[in-house]
A and B are shown apart, each in its own frame.
Chain A
Amino acid sequence: MDLTIAPNPFFWNAEFVRSFYAGLAEAPVARVVLGELVCSKRLPFWQDEIPQAIAALQAAGKEVALTSLALITLKRERKLTADLLGLGLPVEVNDLSALHHIPEGIPFWVGPLVNVYNEGTLRWLARRGAKRICLPPELPMASVAVLAGVAQAEGVALEVWGHGRLPLAISGRCYHARLHERAKDSCQFVCDQDPDGRDVDTLEGQSFLAVNGVQTLSQAYACMADHAARLQQMGISALRLQPQSTGFDAICADYAQLLAGDMTSGALISRLSAAHPDMPFCDGFGHDGAGANWRGKAVLV
């Protein structure tokens, strides 16, 4: 099992993007998915960084793919999607309409925002050319086990969400703009104020969700460290880690050590908690319960 880095869902400035991917080139991860996932309005601000990032990551021996948007509605967005293939990298489909632009016989990847819940869907995608599929985070472990078997038979590498705020929903409406009493079309790019999303708490102060433009994330950071060994046994080929604005190089290094057997999950959780004392965690989907639940235990070493 190795590590895949999810596309960064947040709105970071070009300079920050540049240093983030330069750092990632040095990290012990096998592959990186790049591109704008959440909002096409953000892309002009940082798209010039993409070619450099691809070059740096490839030079460091990493596989690179380009993500589609999560929700494609505008003509401009459809054109962007159609143009993705032109860069010669695998496209990661995160809105099924991207498939309309990928000719039969061209291999592609499937991201966690496509609904792959069962054997029939996995087989259909495999036969259409899917080589790598990251399962939706809410999928119960029993389903993951069944799909791992099918994926092996079909020659598809299967990934599971390993770390980061869970992508829970996508909308036509921009919640960041709404919180600033603006509409999406006049948002003035306010989502750039929250490099990891904007926290949404309950009226009783329970940490609950985070908004990121048109996307809603969990406020807690999924940490599937305790489940890695079981997933490895099932035949899952990669854990997916989602970029965050602080301490991400260390997070990648720790998960790499976990997969190599050089760090226990308890130690990883302990290190994560020490480095990010205000970061809530969850792993409930790994226990087939509410996704927000957290059973992980830090073990001091």
Chain B
Amino acid sequence: MELVCPAGTPAALRAAVDAGAHCIYCGFADETNARNFPGLNFSRTELTEAVGYAHARGAKVLVAINTFPTAGREALWHSAVADAERAGADAVILADLGLLAYAAEHHPDLRRHLSVQAAAANPDAINFYATAFDVRRVVLPRVLSVEEITAINREIDVETEVFVFGGLCVMAEGRCSLSSYATGRSPNMNGVCSPPEHVDYATEGNDSVARLGGFTIHRTPKGGAAPYPTLCKGCFTSGDKTGHVFEDAVSLDASALVPRLAQAGVTALKIEGRQRSKAYVAQIVRAFRAVTDALDARRAPPALALARLSEGQAATTGAYAKTWR
């Protein structure tokens, strides 16, 4: 199986390649990608150099251009596709219909993957993108169980890639406006979710409070620091219930499911975390590479001790287990 690893910086990309990543995904330093964070991502020159570094070591580079272009400013996204091809990228990861159509027409030889942001959650959706835009691989949304992924792979001809580790969206990706409702900035339009410039931490009485756009997302007793106020991981009240209405402060760890995902016909395993450090990336990549190598050699994969690398120190297998729903 192919291991697809995140890189927010050229240094992280080199660390991932050196740690054994088969494939690295990254983006340009602007709102054309869904991890548009300050200090992150690649210039055109950096991407060209990074592709050279990866290719020389047998690794591929995928460029995520997976936000939805703004009306009147599509040229920024169009030039990102052209620049990715010029830099020698092995594929672009796209979500927007219009941008897929543009890339298929103007860059037919540049391989197209469908981003998780397109949330193609059934064989009809995947076959639609494959037929209309010759998409070769689909990153599956995190709403599907392993059984459903198996069934999907029986009905499609394109490759599938699934998330196995890192941050976890509980909503169908690319179809969530919670962040813009609270802050005016969203993953789809701006490549950010619950953005830091709208975050406010305060100490009030005995509590530490984390707010997003003025809405209280966490309130923890003094001594415990309030976690980062990612909207869907917040603690809220509904009627007589108070708690994590949408999702607990957990992140995804499907490392134990890798053999089943391989049986389900999955081609590639994706690790989330372009915002994470190069040391983190290297550690996760090495751990997962041991798993894929074992599978390729038909050995039992090692159990991974990744718990301390998970956000919030707690992990879930998310929608891969049907009971999560």
Instruction: For the complex, give the distance between the alpha carbons of A136 and B71 in Å.
Output: 13
Chain A residues within an 8 Å CB radius of B205:
none
Give the contacts of A157-197 with B (CB-CB under 8 A). Answer: 166, 168-175, 177-179, 183-185
Given A124-B98, A173-B325, CB of A73 within 8 Å of CB of B144: yes
| Complex interface bits, B239-250 against A, C-beta within 8 A gives 1, otherwise 0 | 101100111000
Please tell me if the beta carbons of A183 and B325 are within 8 angstroms of each other in the complex. Answer: yes
Whose C-beta in chain B lies nearest to the C-beta of A148? Answer: B71
**A119 contacts the other chain (CB 8 A):** yes
Given A100-B124, A120-B97, A183-B325, CB of A170 within 8 Å of CB of B236: no
Instruction: For the complex, give the distance between the alpha carbons of A121 and B95 in Å.
Output: 11
**A54 contacts the other chain (CB 8 A):** no
**A142 contacts the other chain (CB 8 A):** yes
Given A71-B121, A115-B68, A290-B213, CB of A121 within 8 Å of CB of B96: yes
**A81 contacts the other chain (CB 8 A):** yes
Give the contacts of B151-183 with A (CB-CB under 8 A). Answer: 151, 170-172, 174-178, 180-183
Chain B residues within an 8 Å CB radius of A218:
181
Please tell me if the beta carbons of B245 and A169 are within 8 angstroms of each other in the complex. Answer: no
A110 CB to nearest chain B CB (Å): 10
Please tell me if the beta carbons of A117 and B69 are within 8 angstroms of each other in the complex. Answer: yes
B297 CB to nearest chain A CB (Å): 34
Whose C-beta in chain B lies nearest to the C-beta of A210? Answer: B238
Chain A interface main SS type: mixed
A82 CB to nearest chain B CB (Å): 8
Give the contacts of B129-149 with A (CB-CB under 8 A). Answer: 141-144, 148
**B324 contacts the other chain (CB 8 A):** yes
Give the contacts of A121-138 with B (CB-CB under 8 A). Answer: 121-125, 136-138
B189 CB to nearest chain A CB (Å): 7
B171 CB to nearest chain A CB (Å): 4
**A143 contacts the other chain (CB 8 A):** yes
Please tell me if the beta carbons of B98 and A121 are within 8 angstroms of each other in the complex. Answer: yes
Please tell me if the beta carbons of A138 and B180 are within 8 angstroms of each other in the complex. Answer: yes
Given A71-B143, A120-B74, A203-B236, CB of A97 within 8 Å of CB of B96: no
Whose C-beta in chain A lies nearest to the C-beta of B99? Answer: A120
Assign chain B's interface to a size class.
35 or more
Given A121-B96, A183-B323, CB of A136 within 8 Å of CB of B177: yes
Please tell me if the beta carbons of B128 and A99 are within 8 angstroms of each other in the complex. Answer: yes
Please tell me if the beta carbons of B245 and A288 are within 8 angstroms of each other in the complex. Answer: no
A20 CB to nearest chain B CB (Å): 25
B141 CB to nearest chain A CB (Å): 8
Partner of A290, one of B184, B189, B322: B184
Instruction: For the complex, give the distance between the alpha carbons of A115 and B177 in Å.
Output: 11
Partner of A173, one of B148, B170, B183: B170
Given A143-B72, A200-B238, CB of A169 within 8 Å of CB of B325: no
Instruction: For the complex, give the distance between the alpha carbons of A206 and B98 in Å.
Output: 38
**B102 contacts the other chain (CB 8 A):** yes
Give the contacts of B208-237 with A (CB-CB under 8 A). Answer: 213-217, 219, 232, 234-237
Please tell me if the beta carbons of B122 and A72 are within 8 angstroms of each other in the complex. Answer: yes
**A291 contacts the other chain (CB 8 A):** yes
**A292 contacts the other chain (CB 8 A):** yes
Partner of B242, one of A96, A174, A203, A284: A203
Please tell me if the beta carbons of B98 and A170 are within 8 angstroms of each other in the complex. Answer: no
**A238 contacts the other chain (CB 8 A):** no
Instruction: For the complex, give the distance between the alpha carbons of A214 and B142 in Å.
Output: 14
Please tell me if the beta carbons of A73 and B121 are within 8 angstroms of each other in the complex. Answer: yes
Partner of A115, one of B121, B127, B188, B213: B188
Which one of B124, B186, B236 has the greatest number of beta carbons of chain A within 10 Å? B124
**A4 contacts the other chain (CB 8 A):** no
A-B contact pairs, 12 of them (CB 8 A): A73-B143, A95-B121, A95-B125, A97-B121, A97-B122, A101-B124, A117-B71, A169-B232, A172-B319, A203-B219, A206-B215, A216-B246
Contacts beyond the supplied A73-B144, A204-B216: 17 A-B pairs with Cβ under 8 Å: A96-B97, A96-B120, A100-B124, A101-B124, A115-B68, A117-B70, A120-B69, A120-B98, A136-B188, A138-B181, A146-B72, A173-B324, A174-B325, A200-B237, A202-B234, A206-B214, A206-B216
